[in-house]
Amino acid sequence: MSSFNLLNIGNQALRTNQSALATIGQNISNVNTPGYSRQTTDITSLPDRTGAKVDSVSRITDRFLTEQMWGDLSAYQHTLTYAGLSSDLDNLLATQVTSVSDGLDNYFKAMQNVVDDPVSIPNRELLIAESDALVKRFNDLDRHIEQQSDTINARVEDLSHQVNTISRGIADLNDAIRIANASNDPANELRDQREELVNNLSNLIGVKVVEQGEEFNIFVGNGQPLITGQTANKLVAVQGNPDYRQSDLQLVVAGNAVDVTEELSGGQIGGLLQYREEALNDARDELGRIAIGVAASMNEAHKNGIDLNNDFGKNFFTDINADSVQRGRIHADANNQSVISQMRVEIQDVGQLEASDYELIYENDRQITLIRNSDGKQFTINQLQDVGADRTIDANLLNWGGNTAPVVDGDGSTVPSAPLTPVVNGVAGGATVVNSAQGMADFMNSQPGLSGVTAETAINISGVTEAGGDGLSFDLKINDATGTTQTITVNLPTGATSNDNVATAINAALAAETSANGTDFSNLQLSEADGGVKLLDRTGGNITVDASGGANADIIGIQNYAANGSLVAGGPVNVQADLAGSDTGTVVGYLTNAQAEADSSVDSFSISSPGGALIGGTSPAVLVDGSNNVASLASDTTSNIAALDQGEYYLDPDRGTLAFAVDGFKVVIDTTQQLVRGDRYLIQPVRTGAEDLGLEIQDGKQLALASPIRITADNTNQGTGVATAKVTNPDALAFAQPATLTPPVGIVFNGGQPTTYNLYDMSNPDNPTLLSIDGVVQSNRAYVPGGEIALDGYSVTISNEPEAGDRFSFTFNKDGVSDNRNAIELSDLQNADVFNDGSYQDLYGSLVERVGTRTATNNITVEANKSVLDSTTSAKAGVSGVNLDEEAAKLVQYQMAYQASAQLISTSQTVFDTLLSSI
């Protein structure tokens, strides 16, 4: 038996060492395979001196180092991507060929030339050329930045496809490893391949790997599942919402797409998204802000001057508040429920503008939030200064028939009627004859911009008396639910004239009509009230009681209700049936909607009628006017929005109109119905400023370089007074006539102390008259050296010390071709603090510095992350990598063991043969 045991041990040893040699061979052959982890053969001893066996083949790996490398790979690729793009942007902004700073310098050099010689046509044409070059600098630089954004969109889409391919591979390997384990097949190489794919995935995006059994579950962002077991969810690049110019990323999980753009970080994708949000958008916003500042300030100054044709200057550059430009500054989220009628963003104060976009979130009327994305500052819009409330009209001021609704006793032809004429926004419409409360409501609702007026009619029937014994019958003419007049006959039994019987009889008559003709009387309400039977008609049509003629003088007492719900004083009017025939009584109604609506198109509204008795005793009845306080009108949408200033807001929740003004811009959002909770809007006041910039002046002769005010000091002046003038409003009446100042003005200084002066209208130089401003005669005004004298559309300043009798005249500067005063105003804008934080060049220099700092910082971070990654890679290779020297030593070790195992088998055979021969 010993020989057999020795043979078994030898066989077992041979197989064990053979397996060890195979593992060493696998290690040596994969020494250069990316992601391969060194393997070792785990050998255990068998009991009872029966040899050894291979227990398993293990991968030598360190989970901590593996996860550390995934994180380091992601961080390195993130900063490397960011730094590369930032360096490109830095070169764009700072390179002389594309720099806006150089363009501004050249522009103002040309401006100085026209200051020096405003008559020179070549100088003027050179300024036009440099202005066009400046516009192209802004446009081209903006286009380069936009191209970088397009490149990011393309890369994000391409990288998302790569993520999906790698994710599918990891999910498939999860499945393959699961199957291998179930079959007891080796799976070490599959695990290596899976970890290598996770390495590749980490290059693209930051991941969190959770190992569950033998499967990798991988999450991105804030825990969104990219891979769960054998399922790989897709990362999809879609058109941005609400910013359609920038791609967003969505993760599709079980058919549901979730936007993860703002949650992703790490890897190339994280670097692209962070760079776009933090650097690229910031640069474009700042560039746009500068362009808007250049256009706004230059346009304002240029329009205050006159050109070689004696015309006031027009816009030098594109109007920053052109309608299409305003509409392009705001975008509604695609998931909003409200339907937009119009949206716009108007620049109000260039100085207050910030280089940022904003997110507006509407929750309800008391929770409207605006977030400035550049620094996270939040504005609570509904806590700004409210400049208006709901825009409503008190329709109850229009009571049909006067302040009450009277009963009309007669044959029906005496029902009050009148031709009413509406005047909307100052324009009178055609007259319409109206003879009921419903007619009044229909008349008002038919006017453009008005809606929501309704009417009612209520009648009280009491004191019903039957003179004879043949029963009482009368007709009711009353509207049904459709507003159609119906005639129903009410029959009371003989002597049954109590309120209960009258109500029962009317109900029976209504039911009979409904049964016979299907008429809907749901608009009626019948009750016993106020000592009689109350019949209420919500359509507001006239109610007529027609008593039947007969031998008996039956009586029906009718009385109307006023709009406040009480019976009209004076008691009922009797309608009596006798031998003369029938008697008719008619009740007219009243308007019931105290909150009738007038939309923003109505600035004024009134109704006129002959006699005045039909409209609350007043004709015309003014319901809306510019004072915004007639007929309970709380505010006027159009005027309130137009007058909205910084730090104010206006909200009309019923009509879905929201307007507010912060940070130098004003936003107006108007929906067709109402704003809905959860509505979101992206506001970009300056994002496209450089793209929108254009040159309006194409002819040097149109450059408005001269001041329109000619100042003439009398040649007999003795004092040191010096006069200057500044245009404050080129559209003022003083400049309404071409090449004319109306009136020309003269200033004459008086003697005595303190010094005073008079202002004169010099329309007739031979007979000047004292000037009157707002009804105040301008005589003996106290002189303040350097003080501003405000006139119509311009102001005058006189400094130093004029003497008594000194005179200054102010006329239109016709043909003042050599005047350069407005050119100086334009030139001075080069160093003016157009913005709260500096001049054009200050802002551009700050932008270049900011981008340069970011670039340098990220380059340093790239090197640091590279060092960390190299260290982790080296540490992981030290644990999992194949060392050829070590493997060679083991190869000799196991080779010798293998040979010894073979010798052991040979020895056992010899022993066995010896045993056999001895028998």
> How far apart (Å, rounded) are the C-alpha atoms in residues 361 and 29?
61
- For the chain, give the percent of residues with pLDDT over 70: 90
400 with 365, same domain: the answer is no
pLDDT for 811 = 97
Asked if residue 508 has pLDDT above 80, the reply is: yes
Q: What is the average pLDDT value for the chain, to the nearest integer?
A: 86
pLDDT for 472 = 80
Domain boundary, last residue among 812, 843, 869:
812
502 in a domain, yes or no?
yes
Asked if residue 517 has pLDDT above 60, the reply is: yes
Give the list of residues 6+ apart from residue 627 with CB closer than 8 angstroms, or none: none
Asked if residue 192 has pLDDT above 60, the reply is: yes
542 in a domain, yes or no?
yes
Asked if residue 401 has pLDDT above 70, the reply is: no
Average pLDDT over residues 270-283: 96
CB under 8 A, 24+ apart: contacts of 797-801:
797/723, 797/724, 797/725, 797/726, 798/721, 798/722, 798/723, 798/724, 798/747, 799/721, 799/722, 799/724, 800/719, 800/720, 800/721, 800/722, 801/719, 801/720, 801/721, 801/755
Asked if residue 3 has pLDDT above 80, the reply is: no
382 with 398, same domain: the answer is no
pLDDT for 607 = 80
Instruction: Confirm whether pTM is higher than 0.75.
Output: no
Which pLDDT tens digit goes with each residue over 355-380?
999 999 999 888 999 999 999 999 99
Average pLDDT over residues 540-552: 75
423 with 510, same domain: the answer is yes
R_g over Cα of the chain: 46
404 with 494, same domain: the answer is yes
415 with 455, same domain: the answer is yes
Q: What is the DSSP string of 118-170?
A: TT-HHHHHHHHHHHHHHHHHHHHHHHHHHHHHHHHHHHHHHHHHHHHHHHHHH
Asked if residue 900 has pLDDT above 80, the reply is: no
pLDDT for 503 = 85
pLDDT for 444 = 82
pLDDT for 635 = 42
Least confident of 309-318, 487-496, 656-665, 720-729: 487-496
> How far apart (Å, rounded) are the C-alpha atoms in residues 309 and 365?
53
Domain boundary, last residue among 594, 614, 633:
633
pLDDT for 164 = 96
Q: Tell me the torsion sign for CA atoms 441, 445, 446, 450.
A: positive
182 in a domain, yes or no?
no
- Greater model confidence, 118 or 607: 118
785 in a domain, yes or no?
yes
Give the number of other Cβ atoms within 10 Å of residue 777's Cβ: 12
Q: 63: pLDDT confidence band, cut at 50, 70 and 90?
A: confident
512 with 660, same domain: the answer is no
pLDDT for 638 = 65
407 with 523, same domain: the answer is yes
443 with 474, same domain: the answer is yes
662 in a domain, yes or no?
yes
Which pLDDT tens digit goes with each residue over 579-637?
555 677 788 777 775 556 666 567 677 787 765 555 555 566 777 665 443 333 334 56
Average pLDDT over residues 220-224: 92
pLDDT for 413 = 60
495 with 538, same domain: the answer is yes
Which pLDDT tens digit goes with each residue over 334-349?
999 999 989 999 999 9
- The amino acid occupying position 266 is G
Q: 66: pLDDT confidence band, cut at 50, 70 and 90?
A: confident
782 with 674, same domain: the answer is no
Domain boundary, last residue among 687, 722, 750:
687
241 in a domain, yes or no?
no
pLDDT for 9 = 77
Asked if residue 389 has pLDDT above 50, the reply is: no
104 in a domain, yes or no?
no
The four Cα atoms 625, 631, 632, 636 give a dihedral, to 10 degrees, of -20
pLDDT for 762 = 95
Place of tokens 């005496």: 414
Asked if residue 893 has pLDDT above 80, the reply is: no
Q: 396: pLDDT confidence band, cut at 50, 70 and 90?
A: low
Tokens in use for 553?
């003088």
- The amino acid occupying position 596 is A
Backbone angles phi, psi at 422, to 5 degrees: -85, 145
Domains held by the chain: number? 4
617 in a domain, yes or no?
yes
Average pLDDT over residues 833-858: 95
532 with 676, same domain: the answer is no
601 with 468, same domain: the answer is yes
- For the chain, give the percent of residues with pLDDT over 90: 54
Domain assignment of residue 34, given as a range: 2-60+881-917
Closest CA to 600 of 565, 535, 548, 644: 644
Least confident of 245-259, 617-631, 815-829: 617-631
Tokens in use for 438?
């419903």
Least confident of 226-235, 365-374, 628-637, 903-912: 628-637
Average pLDDT over residues 41-66: 77
pLDDT for 241 = 93
